[in-house]
Structure 1
Amino acid sequence: MPLSPVTSPPLNSAQQHFVEQLLSKMTLDEKIGQMTQPEKNSVTPADVTRLGLGSVLSGGGGNPDPNTPAEWRGMVTAFQEGALASRLGIPLLYGVDAVHGHNNVVGATIFPHNIGLGAARDADLVRRIGRATALEVVATGVRWTFAPAVSIPQDVRWGRSYEGYSQDSALVSELAVALIDGLKGDGWNSPTAVLPSVKHYVADAAATWGSSKRVNRQALAEAQNAAQTTDQTLAIAHMDQSFVELLKLGAWQIDQGDAEIDEATLRAVHLAPYRAALEAGALNVMASYSSWQGLKMHAHQYLLTDVLKDELGFEGFVVSDWEGIDQIYPGDYDRCVVASINAGIDMVMVPFDAERFIGSLRRAVQGGEVFPARIDDAVRRILTAKVALNLFENPRTDPALLELVGCSAHRTLAREAAAKSLVLLKNEGDALPLRRNTSPLLVAGPDADDVGVQCGGWTVSWMGGRGPTTPGTSILQGLRHTLGAEQVQYSADGQLPVDTEYEVGLVVLAEEPYAEGMGDRANLHLSADQVALLRRVRARCQRLVVVLLSGRPLLITDELPHWDAFVAAWLPGTEGEGVADVLCGDVPFTGRLSFDWPQSAEDLPRREDGSALFRMGAGLNS
């Protein structure tokens, strides 16, 4: 059944007149320039002036050197000044992936990833996180974030599962709206409002395992070479393991794949959060790499134009994903450009070669393959968002906001979020909370003292990384601060003297950081090294507490009987003290699963009638 359109117009009549007057003054090249979004490493401020570019983005790891808030502000401001120096002086809309805080900036506050916020089930908390994130983003001159993801993950083998709040569409809608409200603040025309990009439209999380065609899996050696030489995107993904090894583990099996679901399911489950976001005033939607029933979303006129723009009445603009149009007809770029623009893409993310896209689209218009009216429609939508943000009146942001990046108030909020995101799933013999003033606590595992793994992917770099990638507090540091350093003994490898025994041992386990298809995994069991660590510590303690840092539920059915307590801590961000607060009883456990926790690999993908180790909504109080 068709949905009723969103009825609140983003602009008043005077603003609409301004957009039409500006549009009438623009040349074809200036219009195409507004539709073009390169990555900052491939253009200069002078290029922005010359080409009249509408946007520049920083991809994951697209940072200035040195990576400081002040350097970020200087970099973004230089691009904005380039835009203002163009013939018409149309301000730039700079975009970043601020998906759990301003996460590309060293020193910014890093909040829990969405899967943890889904477990917290606190819309007001998410709204406050959106507001804090907006302030840190605006401090660096940026006014656009590629968030929130409103995915409804169906198969947690997907490497983007942690970007989804929940497998419950209603909860996703509620939390997405809360984040949008926080990013908007007092209104889109406020100088601290940040434009959200609701993504990835639509049903990206319903793709079928094995349907991804991002990588040629029949030529692993060739793919490895491509990742390191010709494929500029995959070359950015620095991982500890080689590309071929990751492919063998399941990388790029589901991400960017094909959703084979019927339209009724697409509308009922996956489209609903977009409707909610539009009602909340969202003015940008990002198209998904994925396909629906075999047709790439970037070429899907029915879903992009007929449903989103016409049926739902969306008056904002649709942006492509990174090189997303290139996948429509691989090897035929001009055909990709024509298909994507005619389908309804308004701004195209062309990270490496803006002028190639500009030339291609110009030829398409001049050759009659793309009508001028479609170009005007796209540019009108982009200008509408810029006017709504009041960029023409206030293209520059307040430098005094820099003092808010990573400030104590925001870190206190992140600590609260980390605490609320924890889910207690087992607690035999009241192993938790940890008791004070008793025998020393043994903490084991390298992940207990690693801020990088707490934050996961999309942290400073695209894939994230281990170690002190950005300032923060590890779980071990939090426990020592709360219980006292003398009460916490630490062994990274769990190798202890034979005669050593503890009343309580606490092991922290973590997934290696990853993002997108690099994190697709066929096997979600704990590693052999992790199991060995658990057994070494189990042999030296009376009670064993396990804290799991992960971007999704892992398969723990065989190991769980050996644990007295089990805590799903997700990816809590920089404030490990929030985890310690709950483990030590200063804050109660209140989190509830927002995903089903599979009992075995046979439970994937999720089925309503399938089995589960723990069901959505599970969680104990302490």
Structure 2
Amino acid sequence: METRNELVRTTTRLRQNRVTRGCCLFLALLSIGYAASAASDVDPDAGIICEWGKQGFDLCEHADDEARVEALLAEMSLDEKIGQMTMSIWHNNVSPQVIREKAIGSVIHTEGPVPGDTPADWVAKFNEFQDAALETRLGIPLLVGVDAVHGQNTFEGAVIFPHNIGMAATRNMDLIKRAAEITAIEAAGTGFNWTFSPCIAMPQHEHWGRVYEGFSEDRDLTIAATRASVRGHQGGDLAARHTIAATAKHYLGDGATEGGKEGGNAVMSDETMREVHLPTYAAAVDEGVAAIMVGFNSYNGINMHQNRYLVADVLKGELGFDGVVLTDWDGGQRFGPAHTVINAGVDVAMQPGNHEEFMADLKSSVRDGTVPMSRIDDAVRRILRLKFQLGLFVDPHAREEFGERIGAPEHRAVARQAVRESLVLLKSENDALPLDASKPVAVVGEHADNSGLQSGGWSIHWQGQTESYRGATTILDGISEFADEVEYAVAGCDENMVAETAVVVVGEQPYAEFKGDTDELFLDDRHSEMIRDCRQLGKKTVVVLISGRALAIEPDLATSDAFIAAWLPGSEGGGVADFLYAADGFRPAGKSPYAWPRKVEDLPLAIDDERALIPFEFGLEDY
């Protein structure tokens, strides 16, 4: 008898080749856990399951996916259409029963309870929700989304890559693509078919708490990284089992708000918008990105959730985007009534807190003519099209065979490569680098032995965490792989240490979104003192800075012998050690994706500002 994985492969092959007898496909699908109500017949030529839902709606009566979309749309009630336009959160307001009753079209997993400790637990939970969707009248499958923004960062044990700021520092587009491919596999293996990434903001102000989510302040670098990331997540075929739908976010100008305020107002001319910020989204659309999320910010005083000009006219009209536009968290009513958002061109409302209120509000607006049915149909058509593209009408269930690949050594090796290539050498003097493995080394600072601190926000939890997590390698762990003798102290160097060189690991605490907005863009006093103390004790002082943005570091740079911008490296701290010890002949490769300020008062800096302490694209290429 075939194993489960063999049946999975058989199912995929049947979908692609469409030549095997329908009865065999049907048996294979039943063997991988289909709900009995989901399907009762298969058309091998069409490559889909024919009958869906309690009604047994027959998709095989229609020639292609577009015809099937139109047929489903014509069959749907207003309540079912609004259900498809609604996303809620699985562990709070939505249960399988609510899915059945409301025909909710998508669910999100983010901060809060988790389905369990193993990939199998996650797969089982999200399959339970999927089964509920399949048991509705029309049996339309569920989209299951996650903020997998630097790896499948919500699952403890998955590989967590450097945040986008670090990935862009590598200038290695093949590596960015490979990281996205691995993220897709590990997200699929925990039950997801949709990720809300990549963030393709171009941060213009270091005060913003989301700088690290963007690739760079540079348009062309962001465009290249955007293309690589979308290709990696989605591959050449969204229906392939190892791919997931990607989401470019946050449209538009989220990184250009006044004062770098999260959700603030981006004031710019139409010319600047089109020359600087829009091209990244044009690139994402050109790559076939499945979805685009609008931002919390306003553009010249009009919130992006309600900006019909930029969403309906520019994004969907001028750029020809035919995918799904969705809100950010609770965006369906956060800035005004539901009709103001839907009429602007948004298709899916992410409503973890109040999906029932949103649905009732939207239904009332359709009934009284405020929202035309043509707008509802356009939204639902886009949602259904994505579900067909993802192959959910062939196999809606989670890709459980990828569970065993989560955190796999080959995945961690790619992340480790990304870490060492992302590090930017800002200073190297007095032969402080590379380190000699035969000599004792002092390692100091809490960031050196804490994978939570080295990963930043959006790591296991929304705001990250200040303790280590399972499966990760800290920077100290990595150094210990090389050095014969390591002296570690959280508080800093002391006179009893015998090592001649000290690696001082300092940086920011984890943060995400508005909680990272700050004016304090410099190291705190105790970290600066730690650097000075090690130097005053006569040690060669190598500083490793963990940060989600370029800080004002001029005094700390002057105190050090070597200084490395390590960004937020994620789970593979061994990559930092590879850099420090020039493992296997490694030479520094990272280039700064931002200009660094000499002092906070100089911000915001233009990308070519002569006042910069460290210019954009700087990075020493030798020790």
Scaled by the length of structure 2, what TM-score is found? 0.88
Q: 1:191, 1:394 within 8 Å by CA — same for their partners in 2?
A: no
Residue in structure 2 matched with residue 3 of structure 1 by the alignment = none
The amino acid across from 1:458 in the alignment is W
Q: Which amino acid aligns with 1:208?
A: E
The whole-number CA distance in structure 1 between the counterparts of 2:382 and 2:123 is 27
Q: CA separation in 2, counterparts of 1:520 and 1:448? A: 24
| Residues 127-172 of structure 1: CA deviation (Å, up to 9, x unaligned) | 1111111111111221000000100000011100000111111111
- Does structure 2 conserve the Cα–Cα contact (< 8 Å) formed by 1:159 and 1:519? yes
1:328 counterpart residue number: 335
Q: Residue 492 of structure 2: which of 491, 494, 497 is its match?
A: 494
Q: Distance in 1 between matches of 2:359 and 2:447?
A: 47
Q: What is the CA–CA distance in structure 2 between the aligned matches of 1:547 and 1:297, rounded to whole Å? A: 38
CA distance in 2, matches of 1:610, 1:292: 29
Quick one: distance in 1 between partners of 2:129 and 2:559? Answer: 56
Q: Matches of 1:190 and 1:508 in 2, distance apart? A: 42
In 2, the alpha carbon distance for the partners of 1:344 and 1:169 equals 26
Which amino acid is the alignment partner of residue 370 of structure 1? V
- 1-structure distance, mates of 2:324, 2:264: 24
Q: Which amino acid aligns with 1:259?
A: A
Distance in 2, Cα, partners of 1:114 & 1:505: 28
**Match among 194, 197, 209 for residue 247 of structure 2:** 197
User: What residue in structure 1 maps to residue 459 of structure 2?
Assistant: 459
Choose from 507, 524, 527 the match for 2:524.
527
Matched, 1:468 2:468: yes
Aligned to 1:55: 106
Report the equivalent of 1:604.
603
Contact 1:460 1:470 in 2 (8 A): no
Instruction: Decide which of 280, 304, 314 is 1:307's aligned counterpart.
Output: 314
**SS of alignment partner, residue 506 of structure 2:** strand
Structure 1 residue 326: deviation in Å? 3.2
Give, in whole Å, the separation in 1 of the partners of 2:134 and 2:614. Answer: 55
What amino acid does structure 2 have at the position aligned with 1:80?
Q
Query: Which of the numbers 264, 270, 276 marks the counterpart of 1:263?
Result: 270
Distance (Å, rounded) in 1 between the aligned partners of 2:467 and 2:538 = 28
- Give the one of 279, 282, 291 matched to 1:284: 291
Q: Are the aligned partners of 2:147 and 2:197 in contact in 1 as well (CA < 8 Å)? A: yes
Query: What amino acid is the match of 2:405?
Result: L
* Equivalent residues of 1:423, 1:591 under 8 A apart: yes
SS in 1 for 2:425: strand
- 1:503–1:543: 8 Å Cα contact kept in structure 2? yes
With over 3 angstroms needed to count, the CA separation of the structure-2 counterparts of 1:541 and 1:67, relative to structure 1, is farther
User: Aligned equivalents of 1:317 and 1:430: distance in 2?
Assistant: 54
CA contact (8 A) 2:441 2:483 kept: no
* SS of residue paired to 1:545: strand
* Equivalent position SS for 1:125: helix
Within 5 Å, give how 1:543-622 maps onto structure 2: 543-586=540-583, 587-607=586-606, 608-622=608-622
Q: Is the 8 A contact 2:163 2:213 kept in 1?
A: yes
Are 1:180 and 2:187 an aligned pair? no
Tell me by how many angstroms 1:328 deviates.
2.0
CA displacement 1:305-334 (0-9 Å, x = unmatched): 0000011111111000001243323xxxxx
1:78 aligns to what SS in structure 2? helix
Written as runs of structure 1 = structure 2, the 5 A alignment for 1:14-413 is: 14-40=64-90, 41-59=92-110, 61-209=111-259, 254-329=261-336, 336-413=337-414
Q: For each residue in 1:539-558, what CA deviation from the matched residue of structure 2 results, as whole angstroms up to 9, or x when unmatched? A: 22331110001000111112
Distance 1:314 1:13 in 2: 24
CA distance in 1, matches of 2:391, 2:611: 51
In the alignment, which residue of structure 2 is the partner of 1:232?
A: none
Residues 603 and 610 in structure 1, CA contact (< 8 A), matched pair in contact too? no
Quick one: distance in 2 between partners of 1:356 and 1:67?
33
1:425 is displaced (CA, Å) by 0.6
Cα separation, partners in 2 of 1:462 and 1:472, compared to 1, 3 Å: same
Unaligned 5+ segments in structure 1 are 1-11, 210-252, 330-335
SS at match of 1:558: helix
Match of 2:38 in 1: none
Change (3 A) 1:53 1:178: same
Partner amino acid for 1:601? V
Asked if structure 2 preserves the Cα contact closer than 8 Å seen for 1:444 and 1:537, the reply is no
SS for the counterpart of 1:153 is coil
SS of residue paired to 1:595: coil
Letter in 2 for 1:518: K
How far apart are 1:504 and its partner, in Å? 1.0
User: Contact (CA 8 Å) 1:118, 1:166: kept in 2 or not?
Assistant: yes
Deviations 1:88-134 (A, max 9, x none): 00000000000000000010000000000010011100111111111
Give the superposition deviation at 1:294: 0.5
Q: Distance in 1 between matches of 2:189 and 2:493?
A: 46
Shift of 1:290: 0.2
Deviation at 1:610, TM superposition (A): 4.9
Paired residue type of 2:571: T
Offset of 1:510 from its aligned partner? Answer: 1.8
CA RMSD of aligned residues (A): 1.4
Matched residues in 2 for 1:57 and 1:543: separation? 49
Q: For this pair of structures, how many residues does the alignment match? A: 557
Change (3 A) 1:207 1:593: same
Structure 2 CA distance for partners of 1:13 and 1:205, relative to 1, 3 Å: farther
Cα distance, 1:449–1:315 mapped onto 2, change above 3 Å: same
State the distance in 2 between where 1:263 and 1:381 align: 28
Offset at 1:370?
Answer: 0.6
TM-score, normalised to structure 1's length? Answer: 0.88
Native 8 Å contact 1:500 1:540 kept in 2: no
Tell me the CA shift for residue 254 of structure 1.
0.3
Larger radius of gyration: 2
Q: Summarize the alignment of residues 419-430 of structure 1 with structure 2, pairs less than 5 Å apart.
A: 419-430=420-431
Q: Which letter does structure 1 place at the counterpart of 2:603?
A: L
Residue 522 (structure 1) shift: 0.7
Q: Deviations over 1:469-510 (max 9, x none)?
A: 2321111111011123xx21111112524x655421110002
Q: Choose which of 476, 488, 512 in structure 2 pairs with 1:515.
A: 512
